[in-house]
């Protein structure tokens, strides 16, 4: 072969390689994923790959001079052509855009297009490279994400350089922020400026957050520590609480974007606040219950009506914007609360008093009822709460005037029995049987009576609590042993003592320092002596305090229009002192933590007078003394027991005689003075009972000895001495049978050296004319 032929072969070989290389390159273009085409200005396909041919459902060789518009809807093709036209104006030489393609079967799929100018200089003709990527999956994923975004109740957004909100954000963000104008907004204006009540550190971190974009992520890490995680915003007039999570999106350690996840936690915050409020309310309720539990139920029942009365008067004064009344009644409520041990109510009322005083001018000038109402509302509300609680706590006791259900049944049963026995008493003529019936009646009657000593705890507690609140020291002296009274009387007495004690400690007895200066003992003293005669319970109450300041009381009464000026100046000292029982009089001129009650004593006086009793105050030896007489009522038995004195002694002597002659071997001697007593005609109360008691006492308990039973009478009091063998049984006997009698008649007994001495007290009752 000639060299010429060798050259030819070599060239042929090269050509083959080039051809193959070209073929591979073309094949590469043909098989690239997505659509590739070169089109002319009219859209004719000059070169297209297999993907395009597949989409157009033609053989790839048939693509030539098919028009690309066949894969677009008419309107879409117009948009495509616009993009082609716009290519010239693009500095970067290409455009990218989204536009859907439509297959011959009508199926539309979103595509991302990339258009560029194809080497016009070399080709001499305007041609374009077209690359299209099916983004159906991406769109579906995006749509799914959007759906998730829409459904998840979170505001999800990203911010990029400059703090602009970029890309997609969750639909719920619009709900949170109350606007749909979000895209491309600056986060500083859109959200951060809405944050309320954030700290300085939070604000500085927010300011630095946007600057952190484009910086190393370490800078973001440092800033993120100070970012607010829980903020309050006020959008479209609605206050919301948001919880915000921040997350940087970094590439190569450089923060490109920041993701914010915003959660509306308003309902959670409100629930927490409500829970907190409820806890506080519960604590308050618990505190109230604890306080109420500490309160003596009797005390509270006693004060209950007074509280109610005071609050009713307070409300009326409030309605009529009567400031004087409001202040008085608040003062009274505070006092009651203090006595009852309701510290919270007392403090609240004190605070209310201060507020009313501060706003006094405003309320007076403008007759501003609304302000007054608002000021006293907390006290009223507190009382309402206490009222409800107290009813629940003290429910079984009922009101102070009405016994509980069980007690009522017992009382009704008793009354029935009483009536039966009383009828028997009338019918029974036999002395001994009569005495036995009386004994039963006395026993029954004793069940409805209480000893006055049952009030001891109450008065002691009252003194203690009042002293504690006023920082005073007072000793209490009680003398009421053996005194009994029915429950209604005891209730009245309780009420009376309560007010007397508190007034005494508050206004009468001085502080320790004041007492020292006056040469008195540090501790003040209160004395309560209770006695009774046949018809009255007599209470003497006095203290060793400063007594009543006559002129001060007079002036206060005049200032408060309780008496006219003329009348006030005309009253004598005793008359002035009686003014302390007038409603509205309180010597407390300034509002302080002491209690000054202007309604208590007047109410007590009213109660006592309603029972035909009396209450009288005097300045006795420069101290206040109050005398109270409470009628006991006439006992039926006493009615029946009224006998003549001389008749009694005749009967008594006869009984003694019978005893002396009995096998008991007792020699009883009666004071002859008794026998010859010729008193004016008087009546014995319960003659038979006394006789029975005496006879039985002698019969059962007198020693078998010839000891003289000495019965004497002095100052209308009969006493008896008898030597007894069993002192224990004697006491029991006396308690069972004679205690009622003794209590009614100021009688008493004592046992000394086995000798019983009974002083039967007042036996006389003057006949009513």
Partner 1 sequence: MTEVENVLIQIARDASVKRLESHSGIGDLESIDMESGYNRKVHANWMSIILVSGLDVRITFKLYFNCIDVKEVVQKSMGTAVDDVTNEFTMDFIKEFCNLTAGMIQKNLATQGFHVGISLLMVTRGFDDIFYEPSSSGEVSDLWKIKIAGVSIICSATLNVINAKNLELLTLNDVAEEEDDGEIDFL
Say which residues have a Cβ less than 8 Å from residue 735's Cβ, sequence separation at least 6: none
Token representation of residue 666: 């007792």
x-or-dash pattern for partner 1, window 427-466, by CB under 8 A?
----------------------------------------
- We find the least distance from the C-beta atom of residue 26 to partner 1, in angstroms, to be 6
455: exposed, middle or buried (Cβ count in 10 Å: 0-12, 13-18, 19+): buried
Closest approach of partner 1 to the CB of residue 20, in Å: 11
Under rule CB under 8 A, which residues in 374-403 are in contact with partner 1? Answer: none
Would you say 61 or 566 has its CB closer to partner 1? Answer: 61
Closest CB to partner 1 among 38 and 87? 38
- Judged by CB under 8 A, the number of residues near partner 1 is 23
Residue 60 lies near partner 1 (rule: CB under 8 A): yes
CA R_g for the chain = 53
52 vs 212 by CB, closer to partner 1: 52
Choices 62-70, 210-218, 274-282, 580-588 (CB under 8 A): range interacting with partner 1:
62-70
Q: From the CB of 101, what's the least distance to partner 1, in Å? A: 22
* Binding of residue 66 to partner 1 (CB under 8 A): no
Nearest distance, CB of residue 18 and partner 1, angstroms: 8
The least CB distance from residue 222 to partner 1, in Å, is 59
Structure tokens that stand for 256 in this block? 């490109």
List the structure tokens of 452: 């006055």
Residue closer to partner 1 by CB (options 60, 587) is: 60
The residue among 40 and 285 lying less far from partner 1, judged by its C-beta, is 40
Window of 88-96, 119-127, 470-478, 731-739 that interacts with partner 1 by CB under 8 A: 119-127
Q: How far apart are CA 473 and CA 526, in angstroms?
A: 11
547: left (phi over 0), alpha (psi -120 to 50) or beta: left
Residue 475 in contact with partner 1, rule: CB under 8 A: no
Contact segment (CB under 8 A) with partner 1 among 53-61, 163-171, 525-533, 569-577 equals 53-61
Q: Candidates 61, 91, 197, 680: give the one binding partner 1 (CB under 8 A).
A: 61
- H or E stretch covering 619: strand 614-620
Cβ neighbours for 282, distance < 8 A, ≥ 6 positions apart: none
Q: In the chain, how long is the greatest CA-to-CA distance?
A: 194
Q: Which is nearer to partner 1, 59 or 427 (CB)?
A: 59
Q: Which stretch binds partner 1 (CB under 8 A): 55-63, 134-142, 319-327, 414-422?
A: 55-63
Provide the minimum distance between the beta carbon of 24 and partner 1 in the complex, in angstroms, as a whole number: 12
Which string of DSSP letters, residue by residue, matches 282-301?
A: HHHHHHHHHHHHHS-HHHHH
Name which of 51 and 248 has its Cβ closer to partner 1.
Answer: 51
Nearer to partner 1, 4 or 429 (CB): 4
Site string for partner 1, 724-753 (x = CB under 8 A): ------------------------------
Contact between 617 and 577 under an 8 Å Cβ cutoff? The reply is yes
Which CB, 19 or 464, lies closer to partner 1?
Answer: 19
Q: Nearest approach, Cβ of 36 to partner 1 (angstroms)?
A: 12
Report the sign of the C-alpha dihedral through residues 326, 331, 337, 343, in that order. Answer: positive
Tokens 């009288």 belong to which residue? 616
State the Cα–Cα distance between residues 728 and 735, nearest whole angstrom.
Answer: 11
Interface of this chain with partner 1, residues 178 to 197, rule: CB under 8 A: none
Instruction: Tell me which of 122, 200, 365, 768 binds partner 1, using CB under 8 A.
Output: 122
Residues 6+ apart with CB under 8 A from 185: 164, 165
Tokens of 139: 């769109």
Nearest approach, Cβ of residue 119 and partner 1 (Å):
9
Contacts of residue 548, defined as CB under 8 A and 6 or more positions apart, other chains included, come to 507, 508, 576, 577, 580, 617, 619, 624
Site residues (CB under 8 A) for partner 1, limited to 270-309: none
Nearest approach, Cβ of residue 129 and partner 1 (Å): 12
Residue among 64, 86, 145, 280 that touches partner 1 (CB under 8 A) = 64
The dihedral through the CA atoms of 83, 89, 94, 97 has a sign that is: negative
Only one of the segments 105-113, 123-131, 345-353, 663-671 lies at the binding site for partner 1 (rule: CB under 8 A); that segment is 123-131
Work out how close the CB of 76 gets to partner 1 at its nearest, in angstroms, rounded to a whole number.
26
Q: CA 336, CA 330: separation in Å to the nearest integer? A: 10
Task: With H, G, I as helix, E, B as strand and everything else as coil, classify residue 44.
Answer: strand
| Per-residue contact flags (x/-) with partner 1 for residues 77 to 116, judged by CB under 8 A | ----------------------------------------
Q: Within a 10 A sphere around the Cβ of 33, how many other Cβ atoms?
A: 9
Binding residue for partner 1, selected from 31, 123, 354, 714, defined by CB under 8 A: 123
Alpha helices in 359-455 (DSSP H): 360-366, 369-393, 405-427, 431-447
Q: Decide: helix, strand or coil at residue 684.
A: strand
Residue 12 or 657 having the CB closest to partner 1? 12
Beta carbon nearer to partner 1, 28 or 377: 28
Contact 598, 585 (CB under 8 A): yes
Among 34, 38, 411, 560, binds partner 1 (CB under 8 A): 38
Q: Give the shortest CB-165-to-partner 1 separation in angstroms.
A: 46
Least separation in angstroms between residue 123's CB and partner 1 is 5
Of the candidate spans 61-69, 83-91, 539-547, 553-561, the one that interacts with partner 1 by CB under 8 A turns out to be 61-69
Residue 8 contacts partner 1 per CB under 8 A: yes
Would you give the end-to-end CA distance of the chain in angstroms? 181
Long-range contact set of residues 658-667: C-beta below 8 Å, sequence gap at least 24: 659/695, 659/698, 659/699, 662/699, 664/699, 664/702, 664/704, 665/704, 665/705, 665/706, 666/698, 666/702, 666/704, 666/705, 666/706, 666/709, 667/706, 667/707, 667/708, 667/709
- The two structure tokens encoding residue 497: 């003592």
Buried b (16+ CB within 10 A) or exposed e, 575-608: ebbbbbbbbbbbebeebeebbbbbbbbbbbbebb
Provide the minimum distance between the beta carbon of 50 and partner 1 in the complex, in angstroms, as a whole number.
Answer: 12
Task: Decide if residue 59 touches partner 1 (CB under 8 A).
Answer: yes
Residues 638-667 that bind partner 1 (CB under 8 A): none
Q: Does the protein bind partner 1 through residue 673 (CB under 8 A)?
A: no
Q: Collapsing DSSP states into helix, strand and coil, what is residue 425? A: helix
Which member of 35, 39, 43, 47 binds partner 1 (CB under 8 A)? Answer: 47
Residues 9-28 that bind partner 1 (CB under 8 A): 11-12, 15, 18-19, 22, 26
Which one among 42, 85, 125, 140 touches partner 1, defined by CB under 8 A?
125
d(Cα 445, Cα 439) in Å, to the nearest integer?
10
Closest distance between partner 1 and the C-beta of residue 11, in Å?
6
Q: 335 near 600, Cβ under 8 Å?
A: yes
**In whole angstroms, what is the distance from residue 424 CA to residue 563 CA?**
56
Cβ-based nearer residue to partner 1, 61 or 361: 61
CB of 80 to partner 1, least distance (A): 21
Report the nearest approach of partner 1 to the CB of residue 22 (Å): 6
Task: Give the Å distances, CA to CA, from 490 to 272, 454, 483, 644.
Answer: 51, 9, 11, 32
Judged by CB, which is closer to partner 1: 38, or 550? 38
Phi, psi of 591 (to 5 degrees): -80, 120
In the complex, the residues that contact partner 1 under the rule CB under 8 A are 5, 8, 11-12, 15, 18-19, 22, 26, 38, 40, 46-47, 59-62, 64-65, 122-123, 125, 127
């Amino acid at each position: 072969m000639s060299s010429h032929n060798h050259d030819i072969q070599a060239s042929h070989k090269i050509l083959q390689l080039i051809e193959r290389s070209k073929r591979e390159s073309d094949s590469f273009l043909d098989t690239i994923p997505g659509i590739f085409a070169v089109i002319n200005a009219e859209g004719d396909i000059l070169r297209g790959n297999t993907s395009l041919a597949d989409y157009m459902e033609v053989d790839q060789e048939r693509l030539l001079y098919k028009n690309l518009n066949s894969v677009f809807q008419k309107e879409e093709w117009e948009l495509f052509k616009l993009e082609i036209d716009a290519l010239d104006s693009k500095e970067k030489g290409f455009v990218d855009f989204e536009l859907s393609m439509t297959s011959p079967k009508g199926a539309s799929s979103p595509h991302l297009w990339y258009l560029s100018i194809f080497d016009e200089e070399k080709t001499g003709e305007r041609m374009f490279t077209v690359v299209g990527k099916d983004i159906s999956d991406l769109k579906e994923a995006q749509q799914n994400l959007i759906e998730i975004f829409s459904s998840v109740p979170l505001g999800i957004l990203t911010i990029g350089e400059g703090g602009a909100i970029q890309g997609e954000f969750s639909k719920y963000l619009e709900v949170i922020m109350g606007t749909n104008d979000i895209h491309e907004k600056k986060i500083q204006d859109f959200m951060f400026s809405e944050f309320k009540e954030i700290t300085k550190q939070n604000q500085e971190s927010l300011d630095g957050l946007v600057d952190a974009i484009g910086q190393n992520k370490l800078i973001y890490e440092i800033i993120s520590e100070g970012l607010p995680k829980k903020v309050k915003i006020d959008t479209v007039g609605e206050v919301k609480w948001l919880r915000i999570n921040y997350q940087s999106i970094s590439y190569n350690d450089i923060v490109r974007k920041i993701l914010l996840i915003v959660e509306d936690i308003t309902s959670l915050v409100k629930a927490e606040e409500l829970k907190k409020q409820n806890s506080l309310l519960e604590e308050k309720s618990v505190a109230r219950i604890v306080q109420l539990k500490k309160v003596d139920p009797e005390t509270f029942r006693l004060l209950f009506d007074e509280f109610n009365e005071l609050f009713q008067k307070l409300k009326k004064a409030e309605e009529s914007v009567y400031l004087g009344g409001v202040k008085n009644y608040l003062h009274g409520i505070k006092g009651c609360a203090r006595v009852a041990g309701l510290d919270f109510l007392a403090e609240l009322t004190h605070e209310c008093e201060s507020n009313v005083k501060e706003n006094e001018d405003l309320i007076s000038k403008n007759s501003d009822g609304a302000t007054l109402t608002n000021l006293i509302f907390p006290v009223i509300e507190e009382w309402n709460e206490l009222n409800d609680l107290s009813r629940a706590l003290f429910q079984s006791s009922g009101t102070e005037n009405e016994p509980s259900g069980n007690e009522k049944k017992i009382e009704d049963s008793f009354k029935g029995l009483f009536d039966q026995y009383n009828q028997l008493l009338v019918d029974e003529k036999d002395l001994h049987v009569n005495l036995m019936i009386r004994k039963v009646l006395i026993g029954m009657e004793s069940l409805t009576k209480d000893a006055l000593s049952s009030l001891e705890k109450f008065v002691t507690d009252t003194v203690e609590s009042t002293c504690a609140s006023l920082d005073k020291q007072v000793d209490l002296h009680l003398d009421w042993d053996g005194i009994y009274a029915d429950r209604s009387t005891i209730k009245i007495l309780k009420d009376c003592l309560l007010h007397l004690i508190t007034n005494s400690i508050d206004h009468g007895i001085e502080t320790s320092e004041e007492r020292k200066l006056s040469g008195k003992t540090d501790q003040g003293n209160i004395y309560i002596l209770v006695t009774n005669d046949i018809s009255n319970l007599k209470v003497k109450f006095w203290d060793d305090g400063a007594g009543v300041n006559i002129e001060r009381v007079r002036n206060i009464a005049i200032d408060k229009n309780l008496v006219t000026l003329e009348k006030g100046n005309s009253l004598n000292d005793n008359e002035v002192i009686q003014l302390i029982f007038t409603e509205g009089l309180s010597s407390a001129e300034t509002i302080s933590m002491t209690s000054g009650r202007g309604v208590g004593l007047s109410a007590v006086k009213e109660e006592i007078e309603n029972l035909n009793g009396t209450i009288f105050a005097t300045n006795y030896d420069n101290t206040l003394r109050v005398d109270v007489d409470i009628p006991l009522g006439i006992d039926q038995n006493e009615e029946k027991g009224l006998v003549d004195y001389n008749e009694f002694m005749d009967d008594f002597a006869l009984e003694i005689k019978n005893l002396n002659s009995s096998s008991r071997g007792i020699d009883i001697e009666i004071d002859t003075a008794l026998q010859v007593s010729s008193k004016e005609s008087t009546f014995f109360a319960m003659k038979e009972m006394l006789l029975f008691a005496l006879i039985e006492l002698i019969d059962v308990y007198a020693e078998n000895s010839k000891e003289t039973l000495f019965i004497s009478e002095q100052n209308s009091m009969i006493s008896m001495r008898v030597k007894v063998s069993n002192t224990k049984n004697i006491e029991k006997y006396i308690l069972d049978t004679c205690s009622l009698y003794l209590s009614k008649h100021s009688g008493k007994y004592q046992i000394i050296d086995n000798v019983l001495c009974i002083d039967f007290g007042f036996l006389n009752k003057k006949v009513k004319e």
